[in-house]
């Protein structure tokens, strides 16, 4: 949607195909980081954007073995918005779609599900889709697969996927918010468990981390055992775990970290999770996808408009974005293996605060650096694509 907005703004004839009828869908994360807020500012959208309901996080904290530690402090980072905005993804996407309506070059088609690539002489020349009005073919100078971690476009492309593996899965559920609840603490690391609670204004979006493939054991132990584990991991939730009526209220996210070795082939480019599926760790996936979109528009919009795009131009997107993606995925894999895997793999050892976190907790000046990396990523993108609808 962001790339559609940017290309429409640059006057490039663009069709966005979205398989759902609206942007409402299961929880996929809400964290709009300073890098994305900076893009919204560069597009002149920030004031209207921040009028949408959201909560602000200026400090990223965790609770380890019952002790609260501050890990990242956004108030001193080098960005115009020194906080993370927590905003439902559907509000964000609908906002971009509404703002994009003023661009005659942009067409957003809802309920349009891409099913196949159309190829001629080894080159991708379009896609086939199903819509409410029947089958549709869209021919294009460039097809851009931004259809997420289970991308149909990527599966149809024969591009090679490198799987970095993941030792964890995550269970997602909601519990109500009540008066007197603690202020936003994101991660809670206790004995053999890790729970993340995200303040969604009127409810808590909760993530319970389990070992990879551990869902069978959770089901076998039963719902009451799961509720007891949640209550133990985040004690303030113990008075409402009965809101979970069945395992249907608890969604499994199979965590994946992977990357295409080549993000493009003639006529086709993949970006976002379709090119590099991200773990929810750090809440960075949305923001990396947006950064990819900005880089793609910066590098390709003018040539797409002039219809002078070469395959080498398309490859320049991966050249630009590969390093930042590699760095963040390496950090996610390290956190999976060094923090989350030991935390959920049993052993019953009480958790203590590791010394690097003790140091961070004691120094506001040091806490700005993790915030800088988390908030802006590596080599943040700025909007350079033309504003010429
Ligand atoms: C449970 C969960 C929690 C997460 N939490 C966070 C978080 O807090 N912060 C964060 O930054 N990231 C988080 N992530 C990661 C984040 O959601 C992704 O990295 C990010 O959404 C990737 O953006 P994208 O545009 O590439 O793909 P997506 O956001 O997945 O968008 C793909 C779009 O393509 C559409 N689509 C799919 N197939 C087709 C098709 N065949 N035809 C047409 N349309 C199609 C989908 O409906 C969807 O709208 C989380 C992920 C999950 C699963």
Mean pLDDT for 311-324 is: 97
In this predicted model, which residue has the larger pLDDT, 381 or 23? 381
Distance CA 306, CA 289 (A): 25
- 10 Å Cβ neighbour count for 262? 12
303 CA from centroid of ligand 1 (Å):
28
What is the DSSP pairing of strand 134-139 with strand 161-163? unpaired
273 within ligand 1 shell (Cβ under 6 A): yes
Residue 275: C-alpha distances to residues 112, 116, 261 (Å): 21, 17, 9
In this prediction, residue 27 carries a pLDDT of 60
200, two tokens:
């969604």
> Which of 18, 29, 111 is the pocket-test mutation for ligand 1 (most atoms within 8 Å of CB)?
29
| pLDDT level of residue 309 (50, 70, 90 thresholds) | very high
Mean pLDDT for 87-104 is: 94
Q: Secondary structure of the chain in the HEC alphabet?
A: CHHHHHHHHCCCCEEEECCCCCCCCCCCCCEECHHHHHHHHHCCCHHHHCCCCCEEECEEEEEECCEEEEEEEHHHCCCCCCCEEECCHHHHHHHHHHHHCCCCCEEEECCCEEEEEEEECCEEEEEEEEECCEEEEEECCCEEECCCCCCHHHHHHCCCEEECCCCEEEEEEEEECCCCCCCCCCEEEECCEEEEEEECCCEEEEEEEEECCCHHHHHHHCHHHHHHHHHHHCHHHCCCHHHCCCHHHCEEECCCCEEECCCEECCEEECHHHCCCCCCHHHCHHHHHHHHHHHHHHHHHHHHHHCCCCHHHHHHHHHHHHHHHHHHHHHHHHHHHHHHHHHHCCCCCCCCCCHHHHHHHHCHHHHHHHHHHHHHCCCCCCCCCCCCC
Distance CA 323, CA 320 (A): 7
16 CA from centroid of ligand 1 (Å):
15
Distance CA 388, CA 169 (A): 44
Residues in Cβ contact with 73 at an 8 Å cutoff, skipping those fewer than 6 apart: 58, 59, 60, 364, 367, 368, 371
Distance CA 385, CA 389 (A): 11
- pLDDT tens-digit profile of 120-167? 999 999 999 999 999 999 999 999 999 999 999 999 999 999 999 889
251 within ligand 1 shell (Cβ under 6 A): no
Task: Give the position, in ligand 1's atom list, of the atom nearest the Cα of 283.
Answer: 9
What is the DSSP pairing of strand 168-176 with strand 106-109? unpaired
CA-proximal residue: ligand 1, atom 28 (nearest): 148
286 CA from centroid of ligand 1 (Å):
7
Q: Phi-psi category of 194—alpha, beta or left, where left has phi over 0 and alpha has psi -120 to 50?
A: beta
pLDDT at residue 190 greater than cutoff 80 = no
Q: Which residues pair with 15 in a beta bridge?
A: 107
In this prediction, residue 202 carries a pLDDT of 82
* The Cα angle at residue 283 between residues 232 and 241, in degrees rounded to 5: 25
Mean pLDDT for 104-119 is: 97
Q: How many Cα atoms within 13 Å fall on the side-chain side of residue 241? A: 18
pLDDT at residue 259 greater than cutoff 90 = yes
- 10 Å Cβ neighbour count for 333? 17
| pLDDT level of residue 188 (50, 70, 90 thresholds) | confident
């Amino acid at each position: 949607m962001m790339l559609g907005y940017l290309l429409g703004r640059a006057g490039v004839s663009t069709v966005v195909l979205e398989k759902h009828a609206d942007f409402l869908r299961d929880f996929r994360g809400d964290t709009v980081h300073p890098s994305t807020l900076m893009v919204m500012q560069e597009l002149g959208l920030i004031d209207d954007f921040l009028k949408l309901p959201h909560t602000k996080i200026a400090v990223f904290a965790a609770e380890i073995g019952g002790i609260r530690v501050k890990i990242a402090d956004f108030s001193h980072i080098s960005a115009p918005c020194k906080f993370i905005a927590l905003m439902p993804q559907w509000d964000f996407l609908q906002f971009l779609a509404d703002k994009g309506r003023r661009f005659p070059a942009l067409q957003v088609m809802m309920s349009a599900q891409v099913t196949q690539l159309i190829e001629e002489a080894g080159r991708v020349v379009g896609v086939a889709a199903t819509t409410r009005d029947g089958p549709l073919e869209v021919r294009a100078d460039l097809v851009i697969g931004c259809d997420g971690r289970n991308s149909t476009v990527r599966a149809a492309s024969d591009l090679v996927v490198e799987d970095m593996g993941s030792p964890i899965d995550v269970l997602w559920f909601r519990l109500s918010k009540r008066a007197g609840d603690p202020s936003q603490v994101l991660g809670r690391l206790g004995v053999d468990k890790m729970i993340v609670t995200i303040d969604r204004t009127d409810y808590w979006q909760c993530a319970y981390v389990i070992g990879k493939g551990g869902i069978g054991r959770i089901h076998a132990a039963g719902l009451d055992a799961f509720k007891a584990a949640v209550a133990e991991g985040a004690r303030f939730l113990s008075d409402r775990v009965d809101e979970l009526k069945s395992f249907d209220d608890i969604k499994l996210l199979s965590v994946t970290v992977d990357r295409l070795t080549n993000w493009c082939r003639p006529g086709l480019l993949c970006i976002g999770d379709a090119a590099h599926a991200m773990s929810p760790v750090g809440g960075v996936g949305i923001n990396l996808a947006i950064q990819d979109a900005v880089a793609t528009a910066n590098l390709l919009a003018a040539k797409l408009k002039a219809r002078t795009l070469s395959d080498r131009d398309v490859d320049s997107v991966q050249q630009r974005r590969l390093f930042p993606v590699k760095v963040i995925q390496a950090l996610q894999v390290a956190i999976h293996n060094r923090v989350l895997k030991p935390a959920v793999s049993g052993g019953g050892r009480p958790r203590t605060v590791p010394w690097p976190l003790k140091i961070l907790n004691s120094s506001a000046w040091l806490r700005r650096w993790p915030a800088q990396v988390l908030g802006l990523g590596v080599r943040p993108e700025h909007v350079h694509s033309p504003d010429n609808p």
